[in-house]
Amino acid sequence: MIIYPTIEIYNGKCVSLTRGRLDEPVIWHVDPVETARGYAEAGAQWMHVTDLNALKGEGDNAGLIEQVIRGAGIPVQLGGGFRSREHVTRWIEAGVGRIVVGTMAAYDPDMLRALAKWHPDQIMLAVDVLDNAVMTEGWQTRSAFAPESFIAAFDDAPLAGIIVTDIGEDIEDGDGSLGLITGLAAQTRHPVVARGTVRSVDDVARLKYVPNIAGTIIGRALFSRDVDLAEALQIAAAAREPVAGFQ
């Protein structure tokens, strides 16, 4: 299982969001580039970056993110406001390992499928869920799609994977989020990356035993030091213990 240590950038600062609320970010007074280097030094093989300004449609943090990519020295998975082929292509050419797309998939599904074919194993589908509906436009707009049907619509696309976030339970009820993500992971052939379920290293250990969970995105718990990245990476890399079957 892959651990994706995460940096969310808003107005040039590292932040965390509660239930997707961009108007109430928790600001972490750390340097984004040094934080990225620290993740790599701890042994991370990937990291995840979200440009919240781009997600909100209020400019972007492109220059800073380019510094983060160079400073990290490991593949970066980037999300935030991808609405066009040109935008996706520009960042892939700039060295981003994977692009996370959500809103585009809801409004222009054919474009998402085409991008996945043009850039195999480089497009991740974001499925952000609130009250059993897929949210778009930076978690602000409720779509008409149920998460199950939304995921099924792209089952034939050559995606790198699917990121599932339960916005309504984000961090505060890890068990509720894990239940939703477990159910959705069982309904797709694509590897699923869980977001918003890790508050401790015990949560990392639990995720390892969920079928079709290929990774987890961890942000707030690293900044608050509730999770030690090196320990989480060690747990994620360890062989799974045998599990007794039930009759």
**Active-site annotation, residues:** 8, 128
> How far, in Å, are 79, 82, 90, 183 from residue 49 at the CA level?
6, 13, 16, 26
Are the CB atoms for 170 and 199 separated by under 8 Å?
Answer: no
Which of 66, 90, 75 has its CA nearest to residue 9? 66
* Residue 29: other Cβ atoms inside 10 A: 7
Instruction: State the Cα angle at 142 between 137 and 146, rounded to 5°.
Output: 115
| Residues β-bridged to residue 218 | 5
DSSP 2: E
DSSP 16: E
Largest pairwise CA distance in the chain: 56
| Residues β-bridged to residue 164 | 127, 194
Distance CA 151, CA 134 (A): 10
Backbone angles phi, psi at 183, to 5 degrees: -65, -40
